[in-house]
A = this chain, B = another copy of it.
Amino acid sequence: MELVKDYPLSKRFPELPLLSAANTKKHSDLIPFAFGHPAQESFDVPLLSQSAVSALQLDGPRALQYSGGSGPDFVLNWIQQRSKHVSISVETQNILVTAGSMQAIDLATRTLTDPGDHVWVEAPTFFGAIRQFSLAELKISSIPVDHNGLLTDELENKLKEAVKNNVPIPKFIYVMPNYHNPTGVCLSIDRRKKLAELAYEYNFYVLEDDAYVELSFSGKKLPSIYTFGPKRVIYLSTFSKTIAPGIRMGWALADDEQIILRMKMLKSDGSTSVFVQEIISHFLSDVKFDYHMKRINELYCTRKDAMISAVKECFGKEVTYTEPEGGFFLWLSFPEKVNTSEFAGDALARGVSFIESKYFYIDGAETNHIRLSFTFTNEEEIKKGVQRIAESYYRYKKSIEVLNEV
């Protein structure tokens, strides 16, 4: 049979840049600082294995059915209790378990907005979130971040200006308050309060993505933005960094049950794998979670220290950074005229990957930073990887100096 015409697919797909690190598998001895993978050593494989057997042997038929057994309720209760650590008090019907926190971002976005609506993000911000907002056909603007997180004064000015000029204010602002991706900084208490106040005053939501909250080297936790303005915050978190990403489990919570019900309606994968929830309920019931996190954070802190030592040794005063107190990432800033995309390919060829800053800005505005993940590789690899970056960088620097002399 012959096809008569082309078929027009949906107009919703933006032209998205491919991450250069998508090619990372090609080098045989690659040191991957690019992606935010947890350390393999962080997975409690024996306990997960035992949990899987328990879930199936104790209540297999229910665990495998559409709605599951008691596991999903157990998981909800656990999240409810754990949320108290960031001063959140919430009923279980206000919590939705999702297949990872990216799904929570997607569902919250499509619950709050229609195509053409405005949304504001931090600059820099997580590229995965930018992608979701683009797919939702939103207009995206950004507000800068400093070492204390989102600049709420600048936010307030921008809101005032929008109102003055009769320009749409955002339906929501997407913020990562703890160990921000990519910069690693935390939003100060004062700014958390200020942000919640602005949300109430100007009537926008805050999408509070708290994926890294448990990754605190000191064990210290600040109260969430939600605490200060529950009626205009949707709070998200995940088990990806604490138990394992492969289980695909995160959650969203909101004070307004209508939001949770609508997110559930959009959730076309049904209840997030009840089979996995049954397994995770056994895991959570048996693990000593605080001890489990302490072990992981000690490992990550050591790796972070190793990375900072290597950076000092290889780069001296050539770069700047805010030393992270948790999370997964070190954000290295080179002199302003540097374009890190110009040596990312050479670095990859030498066997090290990182993500260039342009991917973290909606307009690719700042090009002189790179994001390095310190969690997945060991101390020896970290040292070697940073050396490889330095080789690439200094070679690039020399080449532009030569160009400038010409």
Interface residues of A (CB under 8 A from B): 1-5, 7, 9-13, 16, 35, 37-38, 40, 43, 45, 48-49, 52-53, 56-57, 60-61, 63-66, 68, 98-100, 102-103, 105-107, 110-115, 131-132, 135, 196-197, 200-201, 203, 205, 229, 231-232, 240, 244-248, 258-259, 262, 265-266, 268-276, 278-279
A272 and B248 contact, Cβ closer than 8 Å, known pairs A9-B112, A43-B61, A265-B16: yes
Contacts of A100 on B, CB cut-off 8 Å? 268-270
B232 touches A273 (CB 8 A): no
B66 touches A56 (CB 8 A): no
A65 touches B48 (CB 8 A): no
Contacts of A3 on B, CB cut-off 8 Å? 200, 203, 231-232
User: Which 4 pairs from chain A and chain B are nearest by CB?
Assistant: A99-B269, A106-B268, A64-B244, A45-B60
Q: How far is the CA of A107 from the CA of B60 in the complex (A)?
A: 30
Contacts of A247 on B, CB cut-off 8 Å? 64, 273, 275
Partner of A60, one of B2, B12, B49: B49
Q: How far is the CA of A111 from the CA of B268 in the complex (A)?
A: 14
Q: How far is the CA of A275 from the CA of B229 in the complex (A)?
A: 36
Contacts of A43 on B, CB cut-off 8 Å? 60-61, 64
Of chain B, the residue at the smallest CB distance from A113 is: B10
Of chain B, the residue at the smallest CB distance from A132 is: B268
Q: How far is the CA of A21 from the CA of B405 in the complex (A)?
A: 78
B200 touches A66 (CB 8 A): no
